[in-house]
Amino acid sequence: MESLLHFARGPGFLFAFAFMVLGLLRHLFLMIWQIARTYIRAGDKSLPYSAIAISSLEWMFPIRKLRDQPVFSLTSIIFHLAVIIVPVFLLGHIELWQRGIGLAWPGISNSLADVLTVVAIVTGLALLLQRITARATRSLSRFQDYALPLLITIPFATGYLMMHPAINPFPYTLTFLTHLVSANLLFILVPLTKLSHMALLPGSQLVSELGWHWPRDAGSRVAASLGKEGAPV
């Protein structure tokens, strides 16, 4: 158990975290590279830049969405805020960063962290529930759409138990190990699943807008790869 713990907080964490950071950088790099490439090849180079900027901002700060779908949007916003704030601004985590790389930043109080943790768990489960109940989302969902919210609740739940050892029915080290392993797993999954939206979201509107400006020979390429060259469309 101790050696597993040692691995999970040492090499395991390093691999997962480095994989996440470098993987997100890779995504960004590839995105920029492909945007440039598509733009150069695009038949129509005119782009509605202001519209793209506005819709990007709308996606990043979904205030307007609150009107259309108040319950879902509110849950989602609160969930995202909690999920970002707690791990990054928890005093204990900051302490770890301070020791590891010598960087520290102001954190939130532990009581606020407790509240936000519970909020994150509850909103995460609520989002999952909404996804299952609404027919439109259910039909669009893949396996990862159900698995990821569940996976995200694990480090929060175990983290809460570690903060309150007195109410923790499980052995401390087991709780700790679960916390570490689930968090590491999430880090690894970030660049591989839809979690990569944390880096790709700002550019997504530009990409989708650019996507309509097909390269000049795009049609023939699609036909070629489908093996239907020359066939009538």
Partner 1 sequence: MTREKVLKSVLWFFTGILATVTVARFLKGLGATTALNDATPWGLWIAFDVMSGVALAAGGFMVAATVYIFGRKEYTPFARPAILTAFLGYAAVSVGLLYDLGIPLHVWHPIIYQQYHSVLFEVGICVMLYLTVLFLEFCPVILEHSCFRHPLFRKVHELLKSFAIPLVVAGIVLSTLHQSSLGSLFLITPYRVYPLWYSPIIWILFLISAAGLGLTVVITESLFSSWFFRHKSNLRLLSHLARAASVILFFYLALRLADLAARGQLGWVLTGSWQALVFVLELSLVALAVILFQSSRIRTSSVGLSIGALLSIAGVIGYRFNVSIVTFSRPENMSYFPSWIEIVVTLGIMAGALLVFIFFVEHLAVFPSESEVDEPAFAHPSASLAVNDPLTMRLLLPESIAAVRRYSLAALIGAALAVSLLSENVRSGAFDLKEPVSPPLQVTGSSEPSTGVSSITRLLAVFRERQRYESDSVRLFLIDGNRNGRLVVFDHDAHAVRLGGQAACATCHHENLPFRENTSCRECHRDMYSQTDIFRHPDHVQKLNGNQGCVRCHTEPGMIKTRDTSLSCGTCHTRRPEASRIIQSNEEGLKGLAPGYMDAMHNLCTRCHRMMVEESPADYERAFAECAHCHEEQGSSYVHDLGPYSAEGKL
**Nearest distance in Å: CB 6, partner 1:** 10
Under the binding rule (CB under 8 A), the answer on residue 15 touching partner 1 is: yes
**Nearest distance in Å: CB 4, partner 1:** 15
Of 211, 229, 185, residue with least CA distance to 42? 211
Under the binding rule (CB under 8 A), the answer on residue 216 touching partner 1 is: no
26-35 long-range CB contacts below 8 Å, 24 or more apart?
26/191, 27/191, 27/196, 27/199, 27/200, 28/199, 28/200, 28/203, 31/200, 31/203, 31/207, 32/203, 34/207, 35/203, 35/206, 35/207, 35/210
Of 181, 162, 164, 183, residue with least CA distance to 5? 181
Q: Which of 58, 224, 228, 229 binds partner 1 (CB under 8 A)?
A: 224
Residue found by looking up tokens 């029915």 in the block:
169
Nearer to partner 1, 194 or 221 (CB): 221
Nearer to partner 1, 38 or 76 (CB): 38
Under the binding rule (CB under 8 A), the answer on residue 97 touching partner 1 is: no
Q: Which residues bind partner 1 (CB under 8 A)?
A: 10-12, 14-15, 18-19, 22-23, 26, 29-30, 33-34, 37, 91-93, 95-96, 110, 113, 163-166, 168, 171-172, 191, 221-222, 224-226
